[in-house]
Structure 1
Amino acid sequence: MGWAIALHGGAGVPKNLPPERRKPREEGLRRALEVGVSALKSHASALDAVELVVRELENNPHFNAGKGSVLNSNGSVEMEACIMDGNTKNCGAVSGLSTVVNPVSLARLVMEKTPHIYLGFAGAEAFAREQGVETVDPSHFITKENIERLNHAKDANRVQLDYTPPSQATNEKDTGVPEGDKLGTVGCVAVDSHGNLATATSTGGLVNKMIGRIGDTPIIGAGTYANSFCAISATGVGEEIIRCTVARDVAALMEYTNLSLKDAADQVVKGASEGTTGLVGVSAGGEITMPFNTIGMFRACATEDGVPEVAIWPSL
Structure 2
Amino acid sequence: MVGWAIALHGGAGVDPNLPTERQEQAKQLLARCLNLGISALRSSASAIDVVELVVRELETDPIFNSGCGSALTENGTVEMEASIMDGPGRRCGAVSGVTTVKNPVSLARLVMDKSPHSYLAFTGAEKFAQQMGVEREDNDYFITDDNIGMLKLAKEANSIVFDYRIPTNRYESCGVEMESPIKMNGLPIEVYAPETVGCVVVDGEGRCAAATSTGGLMNKRTGRIGDSPLIGAGTYACDLCGVSCTGEGEAIIRATLAREVAAVMEYKGLALQAAVDFVIKERLDDGKAGLIAVSKKGEVAYGFNCVGMFRGCATEDGFMEVGIWE
Q: Secondary structure, in 3 states, of the residue corresponding to 1:290? A: strand
CA distance in 2, matches of 1:242, 1:96: 17
- How far is the alpha carbon of 1:70 from its aligned partner? 0.8
- In structure 2, distance between residues paired with 1:274 and 1:33: 31
Q: Does 1:193 align with 2:194?
A: no
Of 303, 306, 315, the residue aligned with 2:315 is 303
Partner of 1:6: 7
Which segment drifts farther, 100-109 or 178-187? 178-187
Q: Distance in 2 between matches of 1:104 and 1:306?
A: 28
Cα distance in 2 for partners of 1:115, 1:191 equals 26
| CA deviation vs aligned residue, 1:86-105 (integer Å, no higher than 9, x gap) | 01100000000110000000
SS at match of 2:109: helix
Residue from 179, 195, 212 that aligns with 2:223: 212
- Residue in structure 2 matched with residue 66 of structure 1 by the alignment: 67
1:114 is matched with 115
Q: Which moved more, 1:10-19 or 1:102-111?
A: 10-19
Q: Cα distance, 1:161 vs. partner?
A: 3.1
SS at match of 1:211: coil
TM-score when normalising by structure 2: 0.91
Matched, 1:96 2:97: yes
Cα offsets for 1:163-186 (capped at 9, x unmatched): 99xx967564xxxx8794454100
After superposition, what is the alpha-carbon deviation per residue over 1:11-67, rounded to whole angstroms, capped at 9, x for unaligned? 111221112321111111011101100110000000000000000000011010000
Counting matched residue pairs gives 308
User: Is structure 2 residue 127 aligned with structure 1 residue 126?
Assistant: yes
1:280 matched residue in structure 2: 292
- Contact 1:80–1:204 (CA<8 Å) still a contact in 2? yes
Structure 2 CA distance for aligned equivalents of residues 134 and 106 of structure 1: 10
Secondary structure, aligned partner of 2:304? coil
Shift of 1:139: 2.0
Of residues 229, 247, 253, the one that matches 2:264 is 253
Per-residue deviation, 1:120: 0.3
Q: For the residues of structure 1 that align with 2:184 and 2:38, how far apart are their CA atoms? A: 39
- 1:217-246 C-alpha deviation (Å, 9 max, x unpaired): 000100000001110000000000000110
SS at match of 1:91: strand
Say whether 1:222 aligns with 2:223. Answer: no
Any unmatched runs of 5+ in structure 2? 166-179
Change (3 A) 1:58 1:168: farther
Greater CA radius of gyration, 1 or 2?
Answer: 2
Structure 1 gaps of 5+ residues are: none
The within-5 A match list for 1:131-280 is 131-161=132-162, 170=183, 172=185, 180=189, 181-271=192-282, 272-274=284-286, 276-280=288-292
Paired letter, 1:223: G
What is the rounded CA distance, in whole Å, between the counterparts of 1:79 and 1:168 in structure 2? Answer: 32
Identity across the alignment (%): 58
SS at match of 1:282: strand
- 1:88 alignment partner, SS class: helix
In 2 relative to 1, CA 21–161 (structure 1 residues): closer, same or farther, beyond 3 Å?
farther
Pairing 1:51–2:41 present: no
Distance 1:163 1:292 in 2: 11
CA distance in 1, matches of 2:151, 2:308: 22
Q: Equivalents in 2 of 1:33, 1:163: separation in Å?
A: 26
Structure (1 or 2) with the greater strand fraction? 2
1:33–1:25 CA distance, 2 compared to 1 (3 A): same
Contact 2:164 2:288 in 1 (8 A): no
Task: Go from structure 1 to structure 2 and tell me whether the alpha carbon gap of 1:169 and 1:206 turns closer, same or farther (over 3 Å shift).
Answer: farther
Worse-superposed segment, 231-240 or 14-23:
14-23
Q: Provide the rounded CA distance (Å) in 2 between the counterparts of 1:108 and 1:133.
A: 11
Inter-partner Cα distance in structure 1 for 2:80 and 2:249: 14
Partner deviation per Cα, 1:132-189 (whole Å, 9 max, x = no partner): 000011221121011011111111111013999xx967564xxxx8794454100000
Give 2:302's aligned residue. 290
Q: What secondary structure, in the 3-state scheme, does the structure 2 residue paired with 1:68 have?
A: coil
* Residues 21 and 162 (structure 1), Cα distance of their counterparts in 2 relative to 1, 3 Å cut: farther
